Structure 1
Amino acid sequence: MISTSTKASRKEWVGLGVLTVPALLVSMDLSVLFMAAPRISAELEPSAGQLLWIMDIYGFLMAGLLITMGTLGDRIGRRRLLMLGAAAFGGASLLAAVSTGPEMLILARALLGVGGATLAPSTLALIRNMFRDDVQRRTAVAVWTAAFGAGVPIGSIIGGLLVEHFWWGSVFLINIPVMALLLILAPLLLPEHSDPHPGRFDLLGAALSMAAILACIWGLKKLAEDGPAAWPFVAIAAGTAMGYLFVRRQRAAVQPLIDLRLFRRPAFSAAIGSNVVLTVASAGVSMLVVQHLQLVLGYRPFVAALWMVPMVGMTMAGIVVGTVIVRRLRPGFVIGAGLASAAVGFGLLTQLEADDTVGAILTGYSVLGFGMGMVITLAYNLVVATAPPRKAGAAAALNETGTELGGALGIAFLGSIATAVYERDITAALPADLPAGAADAVGSTLGEALGTAEQLPGHLAGPVVQAATTAFTNGINAAAVVGAGLLAVSAVVAAVALRGVRIDDDHSGGQGH
């Protein structure tokens, strides 16, 4: 049993500060290009498909490699993999910053994804080994989670500031000094941990896991972007089949990449499940909220990113509250309460109207953020605490992979619901004398509707804008209804599944120590 009397020293807490910075940067790089995309389009002149790959290939490769890199870190040493990843991340950042063409930038973003896949599970796994005391580990995981969760909105804000004052490549240069500092401090402050009996590395299993995740995420993202089509469904089916083969191989392997027996533990499976469900709901609505701020309320992208700060603040508050009250309450109750709070936030968004002020949408979104904060830090903590220390990297990678899949599924699922409602409602609300060509364009997306309205005479433009913004808001309402129901059911399931789990239980059962 892990001793609860082994307190971390000042060195471990300083080391935690070192580990939170790469977690923040990995998350930031998912969004830092949002503000730079127009400049990149103007200077590098990528095709529409190339621009999409520039934006997406980082997240694709990171998601696909998380399981492989998490397991690799358990085998060769988490600090060693962290340092290799830091060097790769810094080098790829420099390559991205000086890219002279879209192909070069796509390659750099792909290398950044590879580096990012090494950093996220390594940092969380090292925290598992550095903080043996239950209370200290929860605090450390909460700090790490706050940094990782804040990265996406901070990335948008910093990206906007840099692009306004420098050239687009500056959004990548901020990574280089941080990674250099990590390479200097890691050997001084971070311990090395690895599995003493790793066995052979399963290359075929690693390939199957990567192919399954990449195929599923690509298919889900294409469904969200382009709507129903044959190839996305083929990709999802192929990814599911490869995932099935991967699971079969892991069950039969003597030294599997992932010990599937971990899912028999209620704390492990319920924590990952809660995190996935929350990500499904929050990712889908986040996409819609950002569009509402920009297209319905008329804020430019940088200002819209600033309006995300209150939600981030509420998420941090939820992390603090969840970390504190779990000392007195069982984690099942806290996670259930957090999911229920997030459901309430969705419930508020079901009442949103097109002419509401920014306060209306931020109120519901912030309540959702508070519930997210309560859940994610405890979910991460349960995942790493439940797994044997020698498998902490693989466990952390599983949770991160679930988050990536949940995000892609949420955008595709809730985005499709919102789109269907938009297309249904706008068709019935358009002026009868609107030209057929304009009606077709207006019925596609809100962005196209607003662009088309600018070309119409005044007596048509106003009704078209009103119809489009109302239809889009109705889509948010419908997606929020589904999200609220999903989270409410998950709150009950998590509370029941975790009812017998205490935060200071020995979940690892002493295996593998």
Structure 2
Amino acid sequence: MTHSTSTTASTTGGPGLRAGRKEWTAFVVLLLPLLLVSMDVSVLYFALPSISRELDPSATQQLWIIDVYAFALAGLLITMGSLGDRIGRRRLLMFGAAAFGLASVTAAYATSADMLIAARALLGVGGATLMPSTMGLVRNMFRDDKQRGQAIGIWSGAMAGGIALGSVLSGIMLEHLWWGSVFLINVPAMLLLLVLVPVLVPEFKDPEPGRFDLLSVPLSMGAVLPMVYGLKELAANGFSTTSAACVAAGLVLGVVFVRRQLTRRDAMISRTLFLPGRGFGAAISLNTIAAFAMMGSAYFTTQYLQSVLDMSSLRAALWSVAPSLAIGGAAPAATAIAQKVNRAYVIAAGFLVGGAGYALLALLGTDSLWLLLAGTAIIGMGIVTVMALVSDMALASAPAEKAGSAASLLETGQEFGGALGMAVLGSIGTAVYRADMPASAPPAARETLGAAVAGADRALATVAQEAFVHGMQYAAAGGTLLLLIAAVVAARLLRGPAEAARAAAAAQDEDSAEAGPVRAAAQPAVR
């Protein structure tokens, strides 16, 4: 039996550059890992009480059960994106799917807290392989500009919906099943992925990848992990020497990592991604700001529903899904508009819409459910619009053989942006909350709204709820200002690069389509 070695010159099978039914079917299959990876960020919210009863984790172990998945995911994205470009994105996707499925079974039947932490870490490793591989494959399968924009628009909406769906689905399942069931939902999807991907998805990889820079792996992890951890600690517990030291250490190692990428021919991150005029760096930065805004609002929304409006966790999760109905349609609509209007202006409009949503949150009182839902929906619609268009722009501007690396940088920026949004806006809200709380209040109640509401003093709980809303208003005003500035920056900086990225992608893909059959024929058969 013989087969040809695949390269980036593989064709997508449609007439010309346009993808056909096979590619769209493959795209639906590739949405499975995206949904599951995004759902696993929030799937434990309702399972923690049951896990605590069964496995009796310490407070530190409980925190690691929640956080180790996101840390492993964030720390390995850059490595896995570069690895997929070298060994093949489909191959890495298959490895990731197998690891994700195995880790899910291990987590479901964990018999100790340490075993569950290890399984969650392996889930993060699997997730880090799945995310850049799937987005890189989307870039290669959809070479027509309009189709690629549509696919990435659907992609962005699915990712936003997956996070909300994870908490709701876990809550519903735990009403009827044991806590491990929230992990087993991954297994059928991963098995389906392992069966269908080899049939539907062609392989793509860099035909001249160069050596893999092993030293850059610990450097990239050393840059990302301390900063993400420090920012999360800052959001959860306020400023401390530990959180500041972690962020500082991450910045130092980040500088070392960047210098290494600039001086090596076999760099993990290719310098061609940042060629002048393409706008890749600007797209990464704006995507990070968008994630900042999305996660910054989520930090307050969950607490408002549960601790101000006094909803149960499941009821709060169900209400939080409502805005997703509007958010899910925003990205496809925005990509359609961007086919007729310079996407720089559509991106700027997305930031303005998000800023309007934050302005609504600045008007909240202590009984403003519908205003909260409206503000959250508008923020989500604006931010998903931005994320879809800047992701498409970044991938279009990147060489096709570096699509995995480009996707990994986008997603790493999102991790940074989300952690930074919770840290900065959360710190603003917390500072106002503590200033408003009476000095006579118990120390725990002065620290967090949850502690104040959990106490027996209803008058103090009312004061705490008002203080929290006051802090949320200030944070929302800060979010509004940030997004207004981002809108101006996007409109000014992206007008030329947006069109240049589109033209570069079209030219590159046309060359690839013409050269593909020739290169494939030239490859030696492999027995």
Q: TM-score range by the shorter chain?
A: over 0.9
* Structure 2 counterpart of 1:489: 485
* Structure 1 counterpart of 2:330: 318
Greater displacement, 84-93 / 464-473: 464-473
> CA–CA distance in 1 between the matches of 2:417 and 2:320?
21
Where do residues 464-475 of structure 1 align in structure 2 (5 Å cutoff)? 464-475=460-471
The answer as to 2:109 corresponding to 1:106 is: no
Contact 2:153 2:332 in 1 (8 A): yes
* Structure 2 counterpart of 1:176: 187
The answer as to 2:435 corresponding to 1:424 is: yes
> CA–CA distance in 2 between the matches of 1:85 and 1:258?
21
In the TM superposition, residue 412 of structure 1 has moved relative to its aligned partner by: 0.9
* Structure 2 counterpart of 1:445: 448
SS of the residue 2:504 aligns to: coil
> CA–CA distance in 2 between the matches of 1:200 and 1:92?
30
Which among 148, 152, 157 is matched to residue 146 of structure 1?
157
Tell me the TM-score normalised to structure 2 length. Answer: 0.92
The answer as to 2:518 corresponding to 1:506 is: no
The answer as to 2:358 corresponding to 1:346 is: yes
* Structure 1 counterpart of 2:126: 115
Contact 2:354 2:378 in 1 (8 A): yes
Tell me the TM-score normalised to structure 1 length. Answer: 0.94
Contiguous gaps of at least 5 residues in structure 2: 1-8, 513-527
* Structure 1 counterpart of 2:23: 12
* Structure 1 counterpart of 2:72: 61
CA-to-aligned-CA distance 1:170-224 (integer Å, 9 cap, x gap): 0000101110111010110000000011111001112100111001101111111
SS of the residue 1:192 aligns to: coil
In the TM superposition, residue 314 of structure 1 has moved relative to its aligned partner by: 1.9
> CA–CA distance in 1 between the matches of 2:22 and 2:125?
29
Contiguous gaps of at least 5 residues in structure 1: 429-435
Measured on the aligned residues, the alpha-carbon RMSD in Å equals 1.8
The answer as to 2:269 corresponding to 1:258 is: yes
The answer as to 2:299 corresponding to 1:303 is: no
> CA–CA distance in 1 between the matches of 2:326 and 2:193?
29
> CA–CA distance in 2 between the matches of 1:238 and 1:172?
34
Contact 1:4 1:132 in 2 (8 A): no
Where do residues 150-299 of structure 1 align in structure 2 (5 Å cutoff)? 150-263=161-274, 264-299=276-311
Greater displacement, 150-159 / 301-310: 301-310
Contact 2:88 2:203 in 1 (8 A): yes
- Identity rate of aligned residues, in percent? 48
In the TM superposition, residue 267 of structure 1 has moved relative to its aligned partner by: 2.6
In the TM superposition, residue 426 of structure 1 has moved relative to its aligned partner by: 1.6
Q: Which residue identity lines up with residue 505 of structure 1 in the other structure?
A: A
Which among 32, 47, 51 is matched to residue 36 of structure 1?
47
CA-to-aligned-CA distance 1:480-507 (integer Å, 9 cap, x gap): 0111111100010011111123274225
Cα 1:266–1:488 change in 2 (3 A) is farther
* Structure 2 counterpart of 1:413: 424
Cα 1:325–1:508 change in 2 (3 A) is closer
In the TM superposition, residue 441 of structure 1 has moved relative to its aligned partner by: 3.0
In the TM superposition, residue 508 of structure 1 has moved relative to its aligned partner by: 8.0
* Structure 1 counterpart of 2:143: 132
Where do residues 73-112 of structure 1 align in structure 2 (5 Å cutoff)? 73-112=84-123
In the TM superposition, residue 369 of structure 1 has moved relative to its aligned partner by: 1.1
CA-to-aligned-CA distance 1:21-70 (integer Å, 9 cap, x gap): 11000000000001101111111110111000000000000000000000
CA-to-aligned-CA distance 1:226-282 (integer Å, 9 cap, x gap): 111111111111110100000000000012111234233443122211110011122
Question: How many equivalent pairs are there?
Answer: 497
Select the structure with the greater relative contact order (CA < 8 A; seq sep ≥ 6): 2
SS of the residue 1:409 aligns to: helix
CA-to-aligned-CA distance 1:93-125 (integer Å, 9 cap, x gap): 000000001000000000000000000000010
Contact 2:103 2:122 in 1 (8 A): yes
Q: Which residue identity lines up with residue 191 of structure 1 in the other structure?
A: P
* Structure 2 counterpart of 1:431: none
> CA–CA distance in 2 between the matches of 1:317 and 1:257?
35
* Structure 2 counterpart of 1:387: 398
* Structure 2 counterpart of 1:432: none
